Structure formats: structure tokens, C-alpha cells
Amino acid sequence: VTKKRTTMFRVPGADELLRGSLLHMSDSRALAHWLTHNPLGRRLATRFVAGEDLDSAIDAVRVLNSKGITASLDHLGEAITNPAEAIDAAGGYVAILGRLNQSGVDSNVSLKLTQMGLDISITLCLDNLIRILEKAQEIGQFVRFDMESSHHTSDILRVFEDVWQRGYSNCGIVLQAYLQRTERDVDWAIELGCRVRLCKGAYAEPPTIAFDKAGTDLNYVKLARKLLDAGHYPGLATHDLRIIRQVEGWQPDPASFEFQMLYGVRTELQRRLVGDGYRLRAYVPFGSDWYAYFMRRLAERPANLMFFLTQLKDALPVSR
């Protein structure tokens, strides 16, 4: 009983409050408009975003490939509410797959189902995905469905299972260790035989459904072990050195999984893992709709916010 009380009335720490506020701000259209139209904002975004157009993203992938790192391209965009925009976004991905094929770089793609129209209708989202998966199948490519906030988890998994049962096995899912439901979802994915990218989770979720930081880390390790044992080539997406060291300690076959990290984050560690013979895939986002992605990256690490505020302060006119 005492334990339950402590959890219910736990006072959030400063980092947690900051994280919550930044994640809350990531939904603000006014802030998004201001920051993405601000030259300084655009410059700061290059810390995490490979550029605003596909050419810049492909250049970034070429540089990564030259260091032995593969990639997953994400054309930024989410929470689309207009059907024409969702259809355009799907067409954009078909074109990206075509360009990847021509350019010969080593990269697959990651996409968000709310960019494909999930919030409008499941049928529209499915039609859009099937267009993309058909193109991907034609050229032997792989498509990863990113995971979004818990409002969408069940729908994303349902749509994924639907396309999988239709025979599109060239796609994989993402599961988030911070959700209490995820162990069941991992079992479901293992049963299905699909590839899973395991991450901690990047959205603001209530304690009724999500673990705290320590619980998330423990769950991550437990689920990583399960996925490695099941043998469907999991992607272990984390920059957490303690977890990475734990995985290394299990001495898994380096060809049976890949580590995954975000573009621009812990690049030294990325290089070290490649040097040690592990497979490493970088998640490379590009496009002009970078605001929500950028805010989630700031929320993950308070030092990122300090860096951002210092740059902002230096750019402001000095008042006399």
C-alpha cells in the first residue's frame, strides 16, 4: 500500500517537468511556425536533421555509409488531417524509394502512420501504405513503421498486422519499452515473425500506462534479450551506454541484429560500435516539417535545451 501511495503522489523532478513541458510545446502550431521560419531555428535544427530536401539527406547517408553506417530515411511529417496531404506524403515516399534505388546508397525508410492519414481513416492509411510497400517490394526495400503516442499504438499495430497478413513482409514495427503493454506486444511480434525496432519511447505518457525512467531501462533490457533470443533481426535503438554494454556482454552474433541511433546523437559511440564489428543504422530525418521531431530531441536531454537557449541568447539583439 505504501509503495502504491508513493507512486501516486510522486513529485516530478526538474528534468521530468522540463521534459513534459517540451513535449507539450511540441504540439504548438504557433511555436512550430515561428521556429521553422526563423533562420536561427533552421540552423539549430541541423544538429538533428540532415537537411530540408532529399538531396541533402542522400548526401548525409553517403557520408554515413562511408563510415560503415547504414541508414533509415524519415521524411519528417506527422499528424496529417487533410487526405490530399496524406496521399502526397505517400507519393513522396514512393519517390524517395525510387531515388534510393538509383543512388545506390545503403538506406531503408521509416515513416509515421499519422503522416499516411491514420487520424483521417484507417482505409486511407492502408491504401497509402500499400502503394509504398508495393514500390518497396519491387526494388527489394524495407519499410519501418515508427511508433507514435499511445493514442495510436493499437491502431498502428492493427494496420501493421493487416499489411503483414496481406503478404508484405518487407516491413517492420517499432515498440516502446516505456509502455507497460509492450511485453505483450513483443510476444505478439515474435509470434508474427516480424522485425522489431525496440526504443525507450519519446512521447509524454501518463504513469498509469508507462514505466518511470528506471522501470523503462529495466524493461528495455528484458525485451532486448527476448527479441535477440527470438532471432528475427531486431533493431536495438538506444544511445544508452549502460544498456549497450549489457547487450555486448551477452555476446550476440553481430550479424543477428543491429544497433540503431539517431542522426547527430553520440556519433563517437556510433563509430566505436562499427569499429568493434557491430552493425549500426542511423535514423536520418529530413524535410521542412522538423519542429515536433526537434522538440522531442530537446526533451530527451536537458543539455540540448541549454545549448539551444545559449545560441538563442547570443542571436538576440543586446538591449542597452
Per CB under 6 A, residues contacting ligand FDA are: 146-147, 174, 176, 199-203, 237-240, 260-262, 265-266, 283, 297, 300-301, 304
What's the rounded Cα separation, in Å, for the pair 34 and 23? 17
- Between 20 and 83, name the residue whose CB sits nearer to ligand FDA: 20
User: Under a CB-based contact definition with an 8 Å cutoff, are residues 223 and 175 in contact?
Assistant: yes
Considering beta carbons, is residue 79 or 98 the nearer one to ligand FDA?
79
| Residue of 74, 119, 144, 146 marked catalytic | 146
Q: Which is nearer to ligand FDA, 37 or 306 (CB)?
A: 306
d(CA 115, CA 152): 12
CA distance 165 to 241: 37
The residues with which 17 forms a beta bridge, in sequence order, are: none
Cell of 269: 559511440
How many residues in the chain? 320
d(C-alpha 67, C-alpha 265), whole Å: 15
In the complex with ligand FDA, the residue whose CB is nearer, 128 or 270, is 270
3-state DSSP assignment of residue 225: helix
Q: How far is the CB of 216 from ligand FDA (least distance, A)?
A: 8
Q: Smallest distance from the beta carbon of 265 to ligand FDA, in angstroms?
A: 5
For the record, the C-alpha cell of 318 comes out as: 543586446
125-142 in b/e form (b: 16+ CB < 10 A) is bbebbebbbebbbeeebb
Nearer to ligand FDA, 98 or 271 (CB): 271
Nearest residue (CB) to ligand FDA, 138 versus 212:
212
Question: 196 phi and psi, to 5 degrees?
Answer: -120, 135
Out of 19, 144, 195, 197, which one is annotated catalytic? 197
**What minimum distance in Å lies between the beta carbon of 317 and ligand FDA?**
29
Q: Three-state SS for 119?
A: coil
CB 90 within 8 A of CB 136: no
As measured in angstroms, the least distance from the Cβ of 188 to ligand FDA is: 17
**For this structure, is 197 an active site residue?**
yes
As a whole number of angstroms, the distance between CA 189 and CA 204 comes to 24
| 298 phi-psi bin (left φ>0, alpha ψ -120 to 50, beta other) | alpha
For the bound state, the minimum distance from the C-beta of residue 5 to ligand FDA, rounded and expressed in Å, comes to 27
CB of 176 to ligand FDA, least distance (A): 5
Q: Which residues participate in catalysis according to the annotation? A: 146, 197
